[in-house]
């Protein structure tokens, strides 16, 4: 049950389960922003009525260690039309693999990860642009190459820094000449790595994002904590199904959150399908399907889908978003050789204009983080599409 602005306790009309993307330290994707954008977007839909974010907010615990944030987008005249947003906390699980390590091992793990990713990123730089995808232009390839070089030297700087620390703990068998070479290399790497931080203007935020991407890479490469991540999403949907029986259920995901939602909705055989609430709609924004498939080929292939289930599947992207993908030739992703599976719902691709202007065409990362402007009170075009998909009658 949820209390609306007019003070009556009623069942809401809709439950939206929300999965944010990565880089939350650099781009506001909080549930408060989602509630504000969704309320403003609902107000643009003819006949939907007037909505506002309820002054009440809170969180509840599912299981031993799973806190779920909740916000209400309240209908001003009819509380039975309220929308309740539940946020899946996948970020805490993504960071687990590093949080379990001592701080020195965390630093070394991230540095080694950066070095290990160099060949994959180089292949991405020289590969042709896939069909039906935003162009990886020359300026964007140069931007990616520069960041690769700077990140590589930063990783080497960290490893050399560890070398310096260990040299104090080990017997003094190092020559003065070797120490001078290491110090010079470390200084060069530190200066280059710091230049990357200074450009972003916030070292802690970049360090946070680096740790997050290490966890994401482990998930995509080896399925690290996959069972726990899928269980968290299932727990939230199960909670919604048991406590809001009459409400329609929806999934809204951005960027990396779309990957998690895809893995949950379309598991790889023979993974056991979790019993879950029936969904009315699924909306992806900035789904990085092509980008991930280039780094981890075949990641999205050979998926299954339960027969008899259907929902409105909307995929939203910006026209020039290199990280966001269209869902094209999606049917080829379902079913391994010789296996018959039910056809998934027909996805609908929609292109929208960014709300936040990007600094330059070459920086495809800031382009990806332009679906909405956190400082803007007006609804972003992307969120207007989300609201329309949630409130649609059929």
- Calculate mean pLDDT across residues 291-307: 79
Q: How many domains does the chain have?
A: 2
**384 and 242 inside one domain:** yes
**48 and 34 inside one domain:** yes
Place of tokens 């630093």: 107
Domain boundary among 174, 204, 220: 220
**381 and 264 inside one domain:** yes
**Which of 125-139, 223-237, 254-268, 377-391 is the least confident region?**
125-139
pLDDT at 282 exceeding the cut of 90: yes
Domain boundary among 220, 255, 283: 220
**236 and 384 inside one domain:** yes
Residue 216 — very low, low, confident or very high, per pLDDT cuts 50/70/90? confident
pLDDT at 109: 62
Residue 372 — very low, low, confident or very high, per pLDDT cuts 50/70/90? very high
pLDDT at 130: 66
| Strands 14-19 vs 248-254: parallel, antiparallel or unpaired | parallel
Domain boundary among 220, 250, 278: 220
Q: What does residue 380 show for φ and ψ, rounded to 5 degrees?
A: -75, 150
Which pLDDT tens digit goes with each residue over 160-197? 555 555 554 444 444 444 444 444 443 444 444 444 44
Residue 310 — very low, low, confident or very high, per pLDDT cuts 50/70/90? confident
Distance between CA atoms of 357 and 215, rounded to whole angstroms?
Answer: 29
Which pLDDT tens digit goes with each residue over 319-344? 888 888 888 666 666 655 444 455 66
CA-based nearest residue to 34, from 78, 83, 82: 83
Q: Which ranges in the chain belong to alpha helices (H)?
A: 31-42, 91-94, 96-99, 103-126, 138-169, 176-200, 203-222, 226-243, 256-265, 289-295, 364-368, 381-391
Which pLDDT tens digit goes with each residue over 93-137? 877 655 555 555 555 666 666 666 666 666 665 566 666 666 666
Question: Both tokens of residue 388?
Answer: 């329309």
CB half-sphere exposure, 318, CA atoms < 13 A: 25
- CATH of residue 85's domain is 3.40.50
pLDDT at 356: 83
Query: 362 and 351 in contact (C-beta within 8 Å)?
Result: no
**203 and 227 inside one domain:** no
Distance between CA atoms of 332 and 339, rounded to whole angstroms?
Answer: 12
**104 and 168 inside one domain:** yes
**235 and 361 inside one domain:** yes
Query: 68 and 88 in contact (C-beta within 8 Å)?
Result: yes
Please name the helix (run of DSSP H) or strand (run of DSSP E) that holds residue 316, with its range, or none.
strand 312-317
**170 and 139 inside one domain:** yes
Sign of the CA dihedral 149, 154, 159, 165?
A: positive
The set of long-range contacts for 377-382, using a CB threshold of 8 Å and a minimum separation of 24, is 377/36, 377/40, 378/40, 379/37, 379/40, 379/41, 379/43, 379/44, 380/37, 380/41, 380/352, 380/355, 381/352, 381/353, 381/355, 382/285, 382/316, 382/352, 382/355
Distance between CA atoms of 261 and 166, rounded to whole angstroms?
Answer: 43
Q: Is 96 buried (19+), middle (13-18) or exposed (0-12) by CB count in 10 A?
A: middle
**227 and 336 inside one domain:** yes
**9 and 139 inside one domain:** no
State whether residue 282 is helix, strand or coil: strand
**199 and 81 inside one domain:** no
For the whole model, what pTM was predicted? 0.76
Angle between helix 31-42 and helix 381-391 axes, rounded to 10 deg: 70
Which pLDDT tens digit goes with each residue over 5-21? 334 467 899 999 999 99
Kindly report whether the peptide bond that precedes residue 270 is cis, defined as omega within 30 degrees of 0: yes
Task: Tell me the pLDDT of the chain averaged across its residues.
Answer: 74
pLDDT at 241: 87
Distance between CA atoms of 85 and 14, rounded to whole angstroms?
Answer: 9
Return all residues near 193 (Cβ < 8 A) that are at least 6 apart.
150, 151, 153, 154, 157, 158
Question: Both tokens of residue 318?
Answer: 């910006």
Q: How is 103-157 classified by DSSP, letter by letter?
A: HHHHHHHHHHHHHHHHHHHHHHHHSPPPTTS----HHHHHHHHHHHHHHHHHHHH
Task: Give me the domain span that covers residue 190.
Answer: 100-220
Place of tokens 């994401």: 216
Which pLDDT tens digit goes with each residue over 54-81? 876 677 777 666 778 899 999 999 888 9
Question: Both tokens of residue 90?
Answer: 């996948």
- Calculate mean pLDDT across residues 214-225: 82
**252 and 341 inside one domain:** yes
pLDDT at 207: 62
Distance between CA atoms of 267 and 269, rounded to whole angstroms?
Answer: 6
């Amino acid at each position: 049950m949820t209390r609306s602005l007019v003070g009556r306790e009623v069942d809401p009309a809709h439950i939206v389960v929300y999965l944010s993307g990565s880089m939350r330290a650099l781009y506001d994707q909080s549930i408060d922003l989602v509630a504000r954008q969704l309320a403003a977007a609902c107000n643009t839909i003819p006949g939907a009525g007037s909505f506002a974010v309820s002054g009440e907010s809170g969180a509840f615990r599912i299981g031993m260690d799973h806190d779920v944030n909740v916000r209400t987008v309240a209908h001003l005249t009819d509380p039975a039309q309220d929308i309740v947003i539940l946020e899946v906390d996948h970020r805490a699980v993504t960071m687990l693999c590093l949080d379990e390590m001592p701080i020195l091992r965390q630093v070394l793990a991230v540095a080694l990860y950066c070095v290990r990713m160099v060949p994959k990123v180089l292949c991405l730089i020289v590969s042709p642009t896939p069909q039906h995808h935003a162009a990886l232009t020359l300026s964007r390839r140069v931007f990616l190459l520069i960041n690769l070089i700077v990140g590589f030297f930063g990783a080497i700087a960290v490893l050399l820094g560890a070398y310096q620390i260990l040299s104090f703990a080990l017997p003094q068998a190092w020559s003065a000449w070797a120490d001078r070479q290491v110090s010079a290399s470390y200084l060069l790497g530190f200066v280059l790595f710091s230049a990357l931080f200074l450009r972003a203007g916030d070292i802690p935020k970049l360090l946070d994002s680096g740790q997050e991407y290490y966890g994401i890479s482990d998930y995509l490469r080896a399925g690290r904590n996959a069972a726990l991540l899928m269980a968290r999403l299932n727990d939230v949907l199960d909670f919604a199904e048991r406590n809001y029986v009459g409400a329609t259920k929806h999934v809204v995901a951005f960027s990396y959150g779309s990957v998690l939602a895809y893995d949950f909705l379309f598991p790889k055989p023979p993974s056991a399908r979790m019993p879950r609430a029936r969904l009315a709609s699924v909306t992806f924004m900035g789904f990085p399907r092509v980008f991930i498939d280039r780094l981890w080929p075949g990641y999205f292939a050979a998926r299954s889908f339960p027969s008899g289930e259907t929902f409105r599947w909307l995929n939203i992207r910006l026209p020039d978003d290199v990280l966001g993908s269209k869902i094209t030739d999606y049917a080829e992703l379902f079913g391994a050789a010789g296996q018959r599976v039910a056809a998934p719902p027909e996805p609908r691709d929609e292109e929208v204009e960014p709300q936040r202007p990007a600094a330059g065409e070459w920086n495809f990362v800031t382009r990806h983080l332009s679906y909405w402007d956190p400082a803007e009170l007006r609804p972003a075009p992307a969120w207007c599409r989300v609201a329309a998909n949630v409130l649609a009658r059929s």
